[in-house]
Amino acid sequence: MSDEQHPNGNSRPDIQTPDPSIASRPCDLASVGTHVEKINKLATASSPDDNNTRLELAEAARRLVRALETPRETMIKHCWAQPSAMTAITTCVDLGLFEVMVNGDSHSTTSAELARAVGADSALVARLLRHLSAMGYVEETGADEYAPTNFTRSLCIPAISAGYPLLSGGFLASNIKFHEYMKKTGYVVPSSMLSGPYQYAYGTDKHVFEHLQANPPYGDLFNLHMAAYRQGRASWMDPQFFPVQEKLIDGANQSKEAVFLVDIGGSIGHDMEEFLTKHPSVPGRLVLQDLLAVLQQITTLDERIERMEHDFFDEQPVKGSRAYYMHSILHDWSDEQCLKILSQLSESMEPGYSKLLVNENVIPPRHAYWETTALDILMMTGFSSRERTKREWEDLLGASGLRICNIWTVDNGVESLIECELDTKDLC
């Protein structure tokens, strides 16, 4: 038995401390051959258009690295390397350094030349790039000389780069201080959106969205980051994802006055415009709903799409639409708040005709994908909310008088569409 001091400051004489040498040996050397064999097999079968194989290959490569690393190396990666990379990338984004690196006349540039171009101390730039090179994010071509990678080039896209200053300045303090908040509150899952871990970390009584908007540029950076979050992800309206014709268009009211689709909290209309582009001949009206401040940000929008000011906590003004749609709305809110949103919808739906389409993550019982689990932690620390499991969705929607007809899922479960109807009879 050991009386070694636990990191939280408490002595734990009842816990047997493992042999310290375990931290210096590979985590799972015996599995390395299996991972290599799988990687070789997948690499042979992969193609540029086969996203499923690419994702499986990437996961196999991550498993290989984890097997080869020692626990000490993994700890150093978590505690030193990854936080330092976040710091370096964020600073370089703020400096505009990657744009200079990518737009330079030569393939590679010295850190001193880059520093002069952005007006920074050359020693600072050299140290930042040295670590980013060690992490594989820029290419070291000589002594204090660097060239961009495709990742570096992507950081010149505002939507991609926005996540770094946004998370560094507007979110991650709640992650870093989460253990403090949990200890103070008795390790109970956060549920208050106005006095949760985010408010504790940032010393505010504002909701996270209000806090970001009140502290520029974080509100604008959040909007950019959300655009990147959706980039390249499968779209629910594609035939290989959800059968729009069979489930929505067939059997829809053909009247020009009937509402076909309502996008609730649809921002400036990206999803609705994509839907209209892919399904230009749908019958009836298309309605985009959001707060007035959001709708006023719209610069261009197809004339078929109606703009309607609406707060989704209030009564739904559109009754009997063929479909009501919400994209990444409910994960921002606690179950209590979600019930208020959903009750307004269920009261507006026509039995046997209207559908609710919820475009969100659905965490599987096993083998959840890392993007989804990471987002779940961010939602807990930032919003006191969650990504939900299938069972949690069934409970939440069922309590709102709704029943799940089907859950349509692609790409490792990071995109799902929950198809719902009013729970009256066997309507699905």
HSE-CB at 317 with a 13 A cutoff on CA atoms is 11
Identify whether 56 is part of a domain.
yes
Q: Are residues 168 and 206 in the same domain?
A: yes
DSSP state letters, 306-322: EEEE--TTSPPS--S-S
CA 220-151-231 angle, to 5 degrees, is 50
Which tokens is 208 given? 């996270």
Residue 395 lies in a domain: yes
- 371 lies in a domain? no
* Shared-domain flag, residues 409 and 319: yes
Catalytic residue among 270, 327, 331, 367: 331
pTM of the predicted protein model:
0.88
Report helix, strand or coil for 367: coil
**Same domain? 317 vs 398:** yes
CA-angle at 13, arms to 75 and 177, nearest 5°: 45
Same domain, 258 and 328: yes
Residue 237 inside a domain? The answer is no
**Torsion over CA: 180, 181, 184, 188 (sign):** negative
pLDDT of residue 7: 62
Q: Is 336 part of a structural domain of the chain?
A: yes
323 and 389 within one domain: yes
The parent domain of residue 183 ranges over 164-230
Q: How far is CA 210 from CA 171, 193, 214, 344, 375, in A?
A: 13, 11, 6, 24, 20
The answer to whether residues 145 and 267 belong to one domain is no
Q: How far is residue 112 from each of residues 39, 127, 135, 144, measured CA to CA in Å? A: 40, 11, 20, 8
* pLDDT tens figures, 226-249: 878 777 778 999 988 999 999 999
3-state secondary structure of 376: helix
Do 415 and 352 lie in one domain? The reply is yes
Q: Report yes or no on 193 lying in a domain.
A: yes
For residues 381 and 176, what is the distance between their CA atoms, to the nearest angstrom? 9
Residue 289 and residue 392 in one domain: yes
Among candidate residues 117, 133, 156, the one where a domain is terminated: 156
Token pair, residue 280, equals 């230009």
- The pLDDT value given to residue 106: 60
Rounded average pLDDT over 73-90: 98
Residue 279 is among the residues annotated as catalytic for this protein: no
Taking residues 184-201, report their average pLDDT: 96
Give residue-wise pLDDT tens across range 3-37: 455 666 655 667 788 889 999 999 999 999 999 99
What are the tokens at 93? 């984004």
Q: What is the CATH number of the domain that holds 396?
A: 3.40.50.150
How far is residue 112's CA from residue 135's CA, in Å, rounded to a whole number? 20
Residues 417 and 305 in one domain: yes
In a domain, 401, yes or no: yes
Reported in sequence order, the residue ranges of 241-292 that DSSP labels E, i.e. its strands, are 259-264, 285-290
What average pLDDT score do residues 62-68 get? 97
Same domain for 216 and 103?
Answer: no
pLDDT of residue 80: 97
- Report whether pLDDT(56) > 70: yes
Residue at which a domain ends, from 95, 123, 156:
156
Q: Please give the residue that has the higher pLDDT: either 310 or 103.
A: 310
Kindly report whether the peptide bond that precedes residue 7 is cis, defined as omega within 30 degrees of 0.
no
Q: Are residues 55 and 77 in the same domain?
A: no
| pLDDT above 60 for 225 | yes
Number of domains present in the structure of the chain: 4
User: Is the pLDDT reported for residue 408 higher than 60?
Assistant: yes
Q: Could you tell me what percent of the chain has a pLDDT over 90?
A: 81
Distance (Å, rounded) from C-alpha 339 to C-alpha 318? 19
Residue given tokens 């046997």 in the structure block? 352
Q: Which of 126, 156, 186 corresponds to the end of one domain?
A: 156
> Which residue from 309, 319, 307, 308 is spatially nearest to 344, judged by alpha carbons?
319
Q: How many CB atoms lie within 10 A of CB 145?
A: 18
Do 294 and 281 fall within a single domain? yes
pLDDT of residue 426 exceeding 60:
no
Instruction: Note the Cα 319 to chain centre separation in Å.
Output: 31
- Indicate whether 375 belongs to any domain: no
The CATH number of residue 138's host domain is: 1.10.10.10
